[in-house]
Structure 1
Amino acid sequence: MEFKVIRTREQYQAYLDEVHSLIMLNPTIGSPESDQLELLSVLIEDYENKQYPIEAPDPIDAILFRMHEKGLKQADLAPYFGTTSRVSEVLNRKRALTVDMIRALSIGLGLSVETLIGLSNSKNTLDKNNIDWSKFPVKEMKNRGWLKTLLSNTTDSTESIIQKYIAQSGLQIGAASFKRKLSGDAQTPNTMYALYAWLARVILQAREKKDILGKYDPNLINNGFLRELAQLSWFEHGPILAIEYLEKHGIAVIIEPHLKGTHLDGAALKDS
């Protein structure tokens, strides 16, 4: 079978099926089957990158998340920005990041230069005042118990509760999470809000497993890893074994039914 650049959805699906068949053969490195598997992986990755591009993270969101992660206050960032007033201006998107700021933040906070450069244009954001918090599926979120902690002993408004819920997950109110495009069909504004609520829930659930997860090493995620994972499906308790295998390698598995009006059947997320 001759393999060519993928141009159609049908061709993409056929190549995925071929990859599955090759993995089941457990080919040895250097064999014709192994070479075919490598070639197909390159073709599939190229197609997915073109069809489902991933937007770069927002630098301000990245800084805010790292501050939350390290328990830092705005005053703690003054050495990277020059003055506390500049910290406030940048974090409120009134001043763009400079080269010196990017260099200092990259070294001091461990953020990649690519992340800090990617969206340093303060105009490329969604103002929180444009977010219609009433569009979040609050009733369904309450019924599922997602807001139980935030609802107890509080007089906060529903809007404030949802804002806190989203912020807990690290999806900052101001930008990237709300302007990031999610692929899918028949999206409506309400659907998008439901998807973000679901996304926040999954992130929070995954973090609760942090202490029981093994160490994640991206270098281990290769064809051999995927082959071992696929072979677990042969066993009677394959799904349970697969979850244990993934979590042993630092990958949290969360099973969360989709919210009404959405049909999301899975997602892969990387938490910083």
Structure 2
Amino acid sequence: MNGPEISWLPDRRRLHFNHGPIDLIVEAWGDPKELQAAYRQAAARFETILPELVGELTELRRPASTTPRNFLGSTAQRMEAAVAPLSRTFITPMAAVAGSVADEMMAAMVAGRRLDRAYVNNGGDIALHISPGQEISAAIADTGHGLADRLTIRAEDPVRGIATSGWRGRSFSLGIADAVTVLAVSAAAADAAATLIANAVDLPGHRAIQRQPARDLAPDNDLGDRLVTTGVGPLDAEEIELALEAGLSIAETLRRQGSIQTAALYLGGRNRISGTHELAVAGNVTRGVPVHA
């Protein structure tokens, strides 16, 4: 595996961080000297984050329980903390890895710095920093059904993380959601919750749904012999509504217990919203890419 690579994107405003499976876009706003220092801090942390995760990978692939384990690395600790409250259903810390990496990089970037706002986008799982009086707009698109919209996160909102999960995404899903986007207090929390909600959007045993054991697709993944979705054929309106309602039930439970603020569930051109953020008004959500309005 090649070492960490860090470079400016052509716009010279955003930094691209890449190391193995980690691929980040980072941008911040503020005083130029503060920005330079923040980017240096992020670059220094990026040198070590993947080796730390690899060192504890075996245990990170094992199911979580309500009693958190004592991991050495701070990113692994974030992962475990995000999934432990959800572990009455099968989940491993890997369900929160992308969001936790985003949170860890953000924490390194803002430590001791004065930034107006910033984001770390890890393939659509996003950590946010928003100073008082500031806000960040996020462009949301790509359900495969032509949906596109924006949402705005303000400093006073209890949201610092956005994450999306679904069977069409880069990670395996046990469900059939085209996309589930979650807003939460951290990217790690949003990532873990989006995984569980997307898994719950399902029609078990339906003949239009293709599934394979996860181990057959990636022998070293954390799902083992569990069947993951590889294709979803035509579903009628009643079936789509049934699957969405199953996922919405989980989203509502997570929202009531304070694990998330908002969730948007998408399947077959239909959606369900749990929460009251303006996302619910916009009604068109999936892959998050923060932009400055």
TM-score strictly above 0.5: no
Structure having the higher helix fraction is: 1
Task: Give TM-score, length-normalised by structure 1.
Answer: 0.30
Structure whose CA Rg is larger: 1
- Which has the larger share of strand? 2
Normalised by the size of structure 2, how large is the TM-score?
0.28
